[in-house]
Structure 1
Amino acid sequence: MTPRLRGRTALVTGSTSNIGRAIALAFAAQGAHVVVSGRDETRGDGVVAEIERAGGRADFVRADLDGTAQASQALAAEATRRLGGRLDVLVNNAGIYPPGTTPTTDPATFDRVYAVNVKAPFFLTQVVAPAMVAAGGGVIVNLGSWVARRGLPMGALYASTKGAMETLTRAWSAEFGGGGVRVNAISPGVIRDPALDPSSQFAGETLMHGTPAGTAGHPDAIAAAAVYLASDDAAFVHGAVLDVDGGRTGVTTTGR
């Protein structure tokens, strides 16, 4: 079987751990040359080494996406250079989730969460999407979240940033779709980081009670969706938000 992303190039932000790492590994396994990006060089080099051991191609580019246009532009430029001058797929995955409620959120935290979760991908897309149009097309995959559409009594700030990313997905699809750029999003449910101790309690499990899955998901489920959206199999998919959430958003079961 031909790898679904053979010959493609991709940048995955926040890909030194968890969901981003899984996407980078899956893209490389499907034939893409991947730029792994994040703040931790040691972890980034580890992901690159893992990809190369499996026969894939990857580079690490350190980036602290602080919400400034300069940081996003620098990452786009260096990633494109490492990928031979062409970037086919951008995955806007990097994000932060500080715990807290609306009354306990200070202005500095508010600004930082919006800087990392919204401004950074906005300015990255601002430079990458026009370059994709000029090259004849490309794919952008954003990471939303089920909490953007299911109200919870905590995490309002984070939920609002993910709602912004899902809205930007539709807006960017309209803005750049005519130029051959497909823009879609994935809305993950509760995902358990494989780096956590398997024997430890994971509070997120309770949030999946009453769903068809009944338990937290694995990052590989999100990676599989990202591969689909990045591939030609999704050629007719534009402006969609794909729920990969074990049924958390749309389904309630009984007896669990």
Structure 2
Amino acid sequence: MRLHEKTALVTGATSNIGRAIAVEFGRQGAHVVVSGRDATRGAQVVEEIRAAGGQADFVAADLDGTKAASQRLAEQATETLGGHIDILVNNAGIFPADTTPTTDEATFDRVYGVNVKAPFFLVAAIAPAMIERGGGVIINLGSWNARLGLPVGTLYASTKGALETLTRAWSAEFGAQGVRVNGISPGVVGHELAESMMRGTPFGTIGSPDAIAHAAVYLASDEAEFVHGTVIDVDGGRMGVAVIAA
């Protein structure tokens, strides 16, 4: 129970990576707030955690990038978790596969709102309370294509690059005050149609959301007390090893 008696807020926790993190946090002893827009899927995640003996509650949130939306989630999650948040996982994000010429201004603003502004204002709302309590953990979910260019999804890649930069900047801002800030850069996870992107890598195929969850547990635990301002690649070697085209 590596997160015994810890409290955690996981955004975008109703599916895929966010769901896996929330479930694993519950298994490891944390009281988890599962946050997302879909109450039905949220209830399913909560039930899965509770059925395994964990503690979980759902808090609905539409993180549109406004300060008010992030502040509201921070307040509701804090109340639900008994007055404090030990761990914040900024996972919620959207991925339009548009090219640069086909991206309109509304889409640009929406993607930056969800992927960058929402976590920014969540941290602004939650980090000071962590500092007052003597510490906490913030984990940001990046992406491998923030550092490896693809011909589509340019806008998304730029937002994940921004989140990686915020990870280092927040570590500098809050680390000396007891708040550890790190990130995870997942590789190709859970998308069978993208399996070709993993050919020639050490792992050879797509990864599982559980692999990301295990990394999140490590970063959230006291075992990672000496890890600050780092983005861990959990990508089957996609970024670290040369892929030779067949």
| Category of TM-score, reference length = shorter chain | over 0.9
Deviates more, 1:217-226 or 1:205-214: 205-214
> What is residue 198 of structure 1 aligned with on the other side?
none
1:70-120 per-position Cα deviation (integer Å, ceiling 9, x unaligned): 000000000000000010000000000011100110100000000000000
Aligned pair partner of 1:216 in 181, 195, 206: 206
Aligned pair partner of 2:82 in 74, 81, 84: 84
Counterparts of 1:8 and 1:129 in 2: how far apart (Å)?
A: 16
What is the Cα deviation at residue 254 of structure 1?
Answer: 4.4
Counterparts of 1:72 and 1:111 in 2: how far apart (Å)?
A: 16
Counterparts of 2:230 and 2:82 in 1: how far apart (Å)?
A: 30
Contact 1:147/1:159, CA 8 A, preserved across alignment: yes
> What is residue 120 of structure 1 aligned with on the other side?
118
Report SS of the residue matched to 1:14: coil
Aligned pair partner of 2:236 in 221, 238, 246: 246
Q: Point out where structure 1 has 5 or more consecutive residues left out of the alignment.
A: 194-201
What is the Cα deviation at residue 55 of structure 1?
Answer: 0.4
> What is residue 103 of structure 2 aligned with on the other side?
105
> What is residue 234 of structure 1 aligned with on the other side?
224
Report SS of the residue matched to 1:113: helix
Counterparts of 2:162 and 2:42 in 1: how far apart (Å)?
A: 28
The percent of aligned pairs where both chains have the same amino acid is 71
What is the Cα deviation at residue 255 of structure 1?
Answer: 7.7
TM-score by length of 2: 0.98
> What is residue 159 of structure 2 aligned with on the other side?
161
Q: Point out where structure 2 has 5 or more consecutive residues left out of the alignment.
A: none
1:34-91 per-position Cα deviation (integer Å, ceiling 9, x unaligned): 0000000000000000111000000000000000000000000000000000100000
What is the Cα deviation at residue 203 of structure 1?
Answer: 2.2
Counterparts of 1:203 and 1:220 in 2: how far apart (Å)?
A: 19
TM-score by length of 1: 0.94
Aligned pair partner of 2:132 in 130, 134, 137: 134
What is the Cα deviation at residue 253 of structure 1?
Answer: 4.3
Counterparts of 1:173 and 1:52 in 2: how far apart (Å)?
A: 33
1:109-162 per-position Cα deviation (integer Å, ceiling 9, x unaligned): 000000000000000000111110011100000000000000111111000000
Counterparts of 1:120 and 1:209 in 2: how far apart (Å)?
A: 34
Report SS of the residue matched to 2:56: strand
Counterparts of 1:125 and 1:210 in 2: how far apart (Å)?
A: 38
Counterparts of 1:108 and 1:254 in 2: how far apart (Å)?
A: 38
What is the Cα deviation at residue 27 of structure 1?
Answer: 0.3
Contact 1:141/1:186, CA 8 A, preserved across alignment: yes
The answer to whether structure 1 residue 203 and structure 2 residue 193 are counterparts is: yes
Counterparts of 1:182 and 1:20 in 2: how far apart (Å)?
A: 20
Counterparts of 2:53 and 2:239 in 1: how far apart (Å)?
A: 37
What is the Cα deviation at residue 207 of structure 1?
Answer: 1.1
1:147-197 per-position Cα deviation (integer Å, ceiling 9, x unaligned): 00001111110000000000000000000001100000000000016xxxx
Counterparts of 1:174 and 1:254 in 2: how far apart (Å)?
A: 37
Report SS of the residue matched to 1:210: coil
Contact 1:212/1:252, CA 8 A, preserved across alignment: no
